[in-house]
């Protein structure tokens, strides 16, 4: 591990110091080098690759072998970023399987942390993975792997009861050993509350500016999504190179100018 490597501990220190954490998805070596050069701290090999790389309608068809392949490509190019790999749909349906899948993402893919979606229903899987010394990132709010159950990609936690459930799930995840939490598409006030409840860093996507950090899908912030969700900003504006766009994103997250009100939900 090089001296400047970002670790779970560095992220907690950044939260304590009030320094925002910038995160982007990446799926290959070339973009990983550019993301590193922009000073972004964390790369997520998201199962969003099913949609942006493979052209699938959802993340559900993505396999563990595909996640390992893309994680390995990113791992070869990364120098100091912390590398998180998504656990794909059905790869953690039992605690034992979760441990196996997480182990493969770390051993074969070179991930430093694994991410899985869900709250109280995933506590045993999280405990098992964590007991093997594998850092875990939780994911609450809009859960893309549950899109069919949720009835679409909708903002979560607008009703009081749902908001209380997400807040309680966040607390339970932290207690079970989660090291980082992604909160997707929730009202900014709920995300602010959860970020202040927890000692672990909270990374928002469509969750307002008061989270401890932000994540976007790389191809979305490069303006490549023909139907971008409201929380996306195109940083590749006319005249900017890809490297400049990545730097503009990193700077905007650091100074708290992204997300603005128009990228957030009430």
Interface residues with ligand KIV (CB under 6 A)?
25, 44, 46-48, 86, 182, 184, 205, 215, 217
3-state class (DSSP) for residue 45: strand
Minimum CB–partner distance for residue 45 and ligand KIV (Å): 8
Minimum CB–partner distance for residue 98 and ligand KIV (Å): 17
Task: CB nearer to ligand KIV: give 50 or 239.
Answer: 50
- 85 has which bridge partners? 45, 114
Minimum CB–partner distance for residue 84 and ligand KIV (Å): 9
E strands in 36-191: 42-45, 82-86, 113-115, 136-141, 180-184
Minimum CB–partner distance for residue 236 and ligand KIV (Å): 18
CB 106, CB 134: distance < 8 Å: yes
Task: CB nearer to ligand KIV: give 136 or 241.
Answer: 136
Task: CB nearer to ligand KIV: give 22 or 25.
Answer: 25
Residues designated as active site: 184
Q: Which residue in the shown chain puts its C-beta closest to ligand KIV?
A: 46
Please name the residues in contact with 165: beta carbons below 8 A apart, sequence gap of 6 or more.
119, 157
Give per-residue burial for 110-120: e unless 16+ CB within 10 Å, then b: bbbbbbbbbbe
Task: CB nearer to ligand KIV: give 205 or 248.
Answer: 205
């Amino acid at each position: 591990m090089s001296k400047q490597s970002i670790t779970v501990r560095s992220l907690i220190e950044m939260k304590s110091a009030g320094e925002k954490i910038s995160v982007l998805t990446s799926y290959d070596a070339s973009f990983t080098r550019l993301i590193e050069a922009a000073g972004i701290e964390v790369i997520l090999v998201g199962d969003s690759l099913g949609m942006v790389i493979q052209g699938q309608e959802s993340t559900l068809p993505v396999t563990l072998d595909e996640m390992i392949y893309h994680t390995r490509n990113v791992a070869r190019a990364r120098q100091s970023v912390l590398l998180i790999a998504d656990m794909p749909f059905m790869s953690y349906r039992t605690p034992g399987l979760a441990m196996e899948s997480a182990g493969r993402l770390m051993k074969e893919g070179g991930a430093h942390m694994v991410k899985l979606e869900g709250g109280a229903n995933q506590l045993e899987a999280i405990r098992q993975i964590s007991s093997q010394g594998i850092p875990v990132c939780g994911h609450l709010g809009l859960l893309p792997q549950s899109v069919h159950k949720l009835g679409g990609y909708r903002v979560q936690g607008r009703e009081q009861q749902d908001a209380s459930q997400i807040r309680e799930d966040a607390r339970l995840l932290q207690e079970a050993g989660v090291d980082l939490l992604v909160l997707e598409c929730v009202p900014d006030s709920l995300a602010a509350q959860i970020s202040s409840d927890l000692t672990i860093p909270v990374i928002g996507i469509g969750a307002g500016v008061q989270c401890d950090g932000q994540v976007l899908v790389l191809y979305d912030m490069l303006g490549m999504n023909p139907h971008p969700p409201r929380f996306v900003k195109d940083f590749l504006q006319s005249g900017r190179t890809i490297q400049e766009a990545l730097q503009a994103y990193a700077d905007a997250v650091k100074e708290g100018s992204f997300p603005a009100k128009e990228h957030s939900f009430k």
